[in-house]
Amino acid sequence: MVLARLDSEIIFKKAFTDKFVFTHFVKDIIGIDVEVDKIETEKQFENKVANINFKLDIFAETTDKRIVIEIQRVEYDHNFDRFLHYFFSTIVEQQKKSANYGIEQIVYLIVMLTEPYTITDKTGQVVRDEVLLLEINPRNLVNKYVALYGHQLYFLNPNYRDTNTPPQIRDWLNLVYQSIHHSQNPTLNTQNQGVMRAADLITYEKLSPEEVEASKNAELAREKREIERNLSKEEGIKEGIEIGVKEGIEIGVEKTQKEAVIKGLQKGLSPEILAEITNLSLDTVMQIKTQIGL
């Protein structure tokens, strides 16, 4: 079994818009049983909330629940704010008239982040959590929660292994991680029927040419971001060194650039892309390519 990458939006939606996969995923993550008629992608509400026009990756609802699944590949400094807006907007949108503030449906938003965190919280602490959960319910003075609302927002990140993560949640995090890092020979819980159904849907034998290309593009994009992050780290080191050793620094940066080009070429990145992200000339990149026999 060779898997396509679930950090591709097209592949992710292919798997998680399947009703069997969707319902089993929701059951394992949230712990609720749902029966949905229609699963939508790129969902937009007719009435804009806060005058912001946003789209939800995967959306389904019942008479009493709204379930949203989002994938986030590239981390931005506004990720958490963005999804908090999505979360509350999906709650607020239910109010159609000023005379009625009733919210009939409980909202569940699950965000799958596919790359390690690079941000810190409000206190400056680095975020390194596999599962983060926000529950909207008040609590009284003896710290007991009162079930008035029940809305829940989950952040899942398969790059951090936590012994406290329930096994049924770990199964899905492992599926995402394996599809990205060990797609050729993934290790999955074969007893989890939802996970295995999702894996079957994204095997290369089941993909269209467009879906194959999307998975490969996701891999190249991730390699490009990794190279850019490594070069950024080198630039940070360079700026912190005194001017008196500038020549030595430049030699180190040149060595790092060459290593980045070699790694990129081995991963299939084009010389044009590598020249752009390493600030080397295209001729230099081509010389390196010739030197390593590619």
Q: What does the alpha-carbon distance between residue 250 and residue 27 come to, in Å, rounded to a whole number?
A: 54
**pLDDT tens, per residue, the chain with 294 residues:** 899 999 999 999 999 999 999 999 999 999 999 999 999 999 988 766 666 678 999 999 999 999 999 999 777 667 888 899 999 999 988 876 555 666 889 999 999 999 888 888 889 888 999 999 999 999 999 999 999 999 999 999 999 999 999 999 999 999 999 999 999 999 999 999 999 999 999 999 999 998 888 888 888 877 777 777 666 655 554 454 343 334 443 444 466 788 888 887 877 778 888 887 788 888 888 888 888 777
Interhelix angle 271-278/209-240, rounded to 10 degrees, is 30
Q: What does the alpha-carbon distance between residue 181 and residue 185 come to, in Å, rounded to a whole number?
A: 10
Enumerate the domain spans of the chain: 9-207, 213-291
How many residues in the chain? Answer: 294
* Closest C-alpha among 161, 170, 178, 188 to residue 7: 178
